[in-house]
Amino acid sequence: MKEIQVMDVMEAVGKMCIKANTELPQDVRNKLEQAMAEETSSSAKEVLRQLLENADLAMETKLPLCQDCGLAVFFVEVGDDIKVVGGNLREAINEGVRKGYAEGYLRKSACDPLTRVNTGDGTPAVVHFDLVPGDKLKIVFMPKGGGAENMSRVTMLAPAQGWEGIKNFVINRVAEAGPNPCPPTVIGIGIGGTFEHSAKLAKKSLMRNLEDTHSDPEIAAREKELEEALNALGIGPMGLGGKTTVLGVKINMEPCHLASLPLAVNVQCHSQRHEEVVL
């Protein structure tokens, strides 16, 4: 059985926190450049140019892409042939967050829901564990900003509403959100499971590469259908109008109860910050 030291986990997480907050993923940059080339609105082009310039400055200065450095969210795949030694895995992740947010001078946004007192170190992180075959520990990190997260919703549709009900809900959610989540956004959609699992599916879909195509041709077609419908809203970059309201739509779908149709829409801002490591 492979052994992984908690100190290695802590160091890796600390570096991920800094990198994700300061380096725009290449797939997101490619989408922004493509959008700028295709935009016809001068204001939309200018916003996209500024977003790319901001990404360059963040890379050069190692300052955050956005002042909202997010709540730390992790999806962790734990191989059933590994053993974490030297401490607790969850606490190692939290310690890595403390380290990364302190050393990277990242804004700490975790606070008590009612008193609003800040925890002071960016923790506790939101950690989703999955047990998988193999001898690897895969950690995927997303700093989730409040503006985009606030525009996200979970609903329970009637089964008879089907795809049209899903499509209408997603379009209405993005239209109502307007400029609030700092478009162009990425829309993660979870369909199926249960109330809480649909939200997890939606958030996990945001970890996908923006340039990929879903392995299921039917779902891939629905992603494209939604992307075209959302961009037709004309909200545009930062809500100033244009052809680019979303950079992409990603769907995760799993079976659900025969009496239910759970649906979650998780909105992500234009930065689409995420990072992963395999130990």
pLDDT digits (tens, 9 = 90+) for 169-184: 999 999 999 999 999 9
Structure confidence at residue 146 as a pLDDT band (50, 70, 90): very high
Residue listed under structure tokens 């997480």: 13
Q: How far is residue 233's CA from residue 30's CA, in Å, rounded to a whole number?
A: 22
Residue by residue, DSSP assigns 24-50 as --HHHHHHHHHHHHH---HHHHHHHHH
pLDDT the model gives residue 70: 96
> pLDDT averaged over the chain?
97
Say how far apart CA 217 and CA 251 lie, in whole Å: 12
Question: What pLDDT, on a 0 to 100 scale, did the predictor assign at position 273?
Answer: 94
Give the integer Cα–Cα distance in Å for 200 and 210.
Answer: 18
What per-residue confidence (pLDDT) applies to 117? 98
The reported pLDDT for the residue numbered 175 is: 98
Q: Before 184, cis peptide (omega within 30)?
A: yes
The 10s digit of each residue's pLDDT in 232-274 is 999 999 999 999 999 999 999 999 999 999 999 999 999 999 9
46-68 pLDDT, tens per residue?
999 999 999 999 999 999 999 99
Query: Distance between CA 212 and CA 194 in Å, rounded?
Result: 26
User: Residue 256: what pLDDT?
Assistant: 98
pLDDT tens digits, 148-201: 999 999 999 999 999 999 999 999 999 999 999 999 999 999 999 999 999 999
